[in-house]
Structure 1
Amino acid sequence: MGNEQEVDSPGEQDVDADPARGRISASLSSSVKTRLSCIRFLFVSTLFRLYLDVVRKKEEGSMNEGKAGGGVKGGCFWDATQTISQSWYWNNVLKMKDLLLRTAGSPDQAIQLLQACTSHGKYDTSAMYDVIRVRGAPVDWSPLVFNAGCHPKHSFIGMLVFQNGLPTVDRLISRGLYLVNRCALCEGCSEDILHLFFACPYSRTVLMDIANWAHFSVTSVLLEAVLQGFISTRRSGKQRASLMALLYFLWKERNNRIFRGIQSSPETLCIVIKKVVNLRLYGL
């Protein structure tokens, strides 16, 4: 539909098009970085588990006992170190080994940890993730952002909004970039997280339309007040999905205007949001 064409991902689009790519990536919250580290850890842990299984069969348990050999020529596996001459695969296995030792404390306890993450004779990555993941303080907005009714990419942007983790102009300026702080949606005010999503006249028009359609109200432009209003009362799947989709498409509209020169009217954006929410919830 001309100006309403989809863009792959607001997060990817913003990073690829912005010349300050490194600085924008630094704006991700520590919790997001932790999630990415855990994903890489799970991948390497799977390789390591496979290696343990092979060695256990070939060496008849010598690794479990920490004896010489253990799949490493001339020494003990648990004492092996990484070198640049070794393969990427092997160095990642050794990284996994070092991380397990730091977590468990000893080779015997590391083996017990891996064995505890085995279900029906197979390695269970979800069990390993539950063991190694860093548990932060619970946040009351988690049920609002992460639920079956919300598309994952909508939830991701919603999480960054509530953590003030999006690379808005005010945050980029605070990191040393020389930019003109002007909202891309209304072109009349400075851009920050509160203005962009709740105070901007463009965003406010879309917000009121979606609120009437999904039967919820937003009376404040303060992020804490909006969150409290949603959390304090029980919300339907449609209301939660609508808010997350609203945040996602407002951020996408902002990026489209800055990086692609494409604009959509508030009415068009509302139609897109309603269509996406209905498709997600009801398949309509």
Structure 2
Amino acid sequence: MRVPLVNWDSVCSPKEEGGSGIKNSFVWNVAAVGKLVWWVYCSPDKLWVQWINQVYLKKQSWHDYHPKGDVSWSWKNVCRAKDKLILGFSHGSWSLDSKGYSVGSGYDFLRTRSQVVPWHQFIWHSWTVPKHRFLGWLLVRKALQVKEKLVALGVCQDDLCLLCGRATETHEHLFEDCEYSKRILMGMANLCKVSLPGGDILQGFWQQRRTQVQKSVLMCAFTACFYFIWKQRHTVRCEQVLVHPDIVCKQVHQVVKMRLRVFSNRILGMDRVWLQSTELCK
């Protein structure tokens, strides 16, 4: 059985809380059934609710009702949803009127909450290629299967970096300190006419005093670098082929140039002048 890179609760958290924004289908299903719970509370004129009152509730309080053992599975499922949502109805999360409850609000009430993370804005940036931003998310969570982790799992015998062979392959080494990776990052920095910030490159650029468009361009460019570094690392592992970093940098450049064409209508005024001063679109 394969060990997941990120636990499911974290995957299903909102992006601003460090997750991927995917909905948890089990929680969503409970929230959807909660709509029926809410109808019993506040829509007595609905035919289905009248039938429920006649067959199951029989003038009992819905708030305190517990199903007997001989009722249907579907009705037990509605009652289980009520038990999970009852605090929301009890403490005013929803008003008992025609606009009080929605499946979305029920899901938000039931889901696991985490602290807001400072990196979600630049990791999930809309200008970056989707598969690049997903890898960036795994990177910032330190969830990639670098050799440091693989040795701990007993998958491989040594922990040396596959790109330079000089140090332990950790997240920090592979994407910040590795001489091979630095060649690619420096190549992109030269194309962008910028200096690489120390430490976390994406966060460093994001915190600089630049316009939003300039930050967006840099996120697109350097997230692409990380993706191609990881891709090249896999090429070495699977095919034992190490492409020259200058060639990889040219590949990154082509992808970034095509991506920026998608957003060319948003690059205006001084931002366009800045972009033309770089070599990204050449």
Q: Identify the match of residue 231 of structure 1 among 207, 227, 230.
A: 207
> Residue type of the partner of 2:159?
N
Amino acid at match of 1:271: K
- 2:171 pairs, out of 188, 193, 200, with 193
Please show how residues 159-174 of structure 1 align to structure 2 within 5 Å. 159-174=137-152
Identify the match of residue 2 of structure 2 among 21, 33, 45.
21
1 CA distance for matches of 2:89 and 2:39?
23
**Structure 2: tracts of 5 or more residues without a match:** 14-18, 265-282
Distance 2:173 2:204 in 1: 18
CA displacement, residues 56-83 of structure 1 (integer Å, 9 cap, x when unaligned): 74423576xx88627xxxx99974599x
Aligned-partner residue type, residue 245 of structure 1: A
Question: Measured at CA, do residues 217 and 53 of structure 1 come closer, stay the same or move farther in structure 2, by a change above 3 Å?
Answer: same
Compute the TM-score of the two structures, normalised by the length of structure 1.
0.65
Taking the aligned partners of 1:251 and 1:114, their CA distance within structure 2 comes to 52
Report if aligned partners of 1:183, 1:189 keep a CA contact under 8 Å in 2: yes
The letter of the residue matching 2:219 is R
Structure 1 position 209, deviation (Å): 0.9
After superposition, the Cα gap between the structure-2 partners of 1:191 and 1:29, relative to the gap in structure 1 and judged at 3 Å, is farther
- 2:48 aligns with 59
CA pair 213-96 structure 1, distance change in 2 beyond 3 A: farther
Matching of residues 48-127 of structure 1 within 5 Å = 48=33, 57-60=46-49, 69=56, 79=66, 96-101=81-86, 104=88, 112=96, 116-118=100-102, 125=104, 127=105
Q: Which residue of 1 aligns with 2:260?
A: 281
2:89–2:95 contact (8 Å) kept in structure 1: no
Q: Give ranges in structure 1 of 5+ residues lacking alignment.
A: 1-19
Q: What is the rounded CA distance, in whole Å, between the counterparts of 2:233 and 2:148 in structure 1?
A: 14
C-alpha change, 1:201 and 1:109, in structure 2 (3 Å) is closer
SS across alignment from 1:138: coil
Per the alignment, do residues 61 and 252 of structure 1 end up closer, same or farther by CA in structure 2, a change over 3 Å counting?
farther
* Structure label with greater radius of gyration: 2
Give, in whole Å, the separation in 2 of the partners of 1:54 and 1:245.
49
* Cα RMSD for the two superposed structures: 4.4
Which of 245, 258, 264 is residue 266 of structure 1 equivalent to?
A: 245
- For residues 76-132 of structure 1, what are the alpha-carbon distances to aligned partners after superposition, in whole Å with 9 as ceiling and x for unaligned? 9974599xx969xx997676555434x6365997795995344xxxx5x4x555444
Query: In the TM superposition, what whole-angstrom CA distance separates every residue of 1:162-192 from its partner, at most 9, and x where no partner exists?
Result: 2322221213334565531021222332200
Indicate the residue corresponding to 2:117 in structure 1. 139
Q: Which has the higher contact order (CA 8 A, sep 6+)?
A: 1
Q: Count residues in correspondence.
A: 246
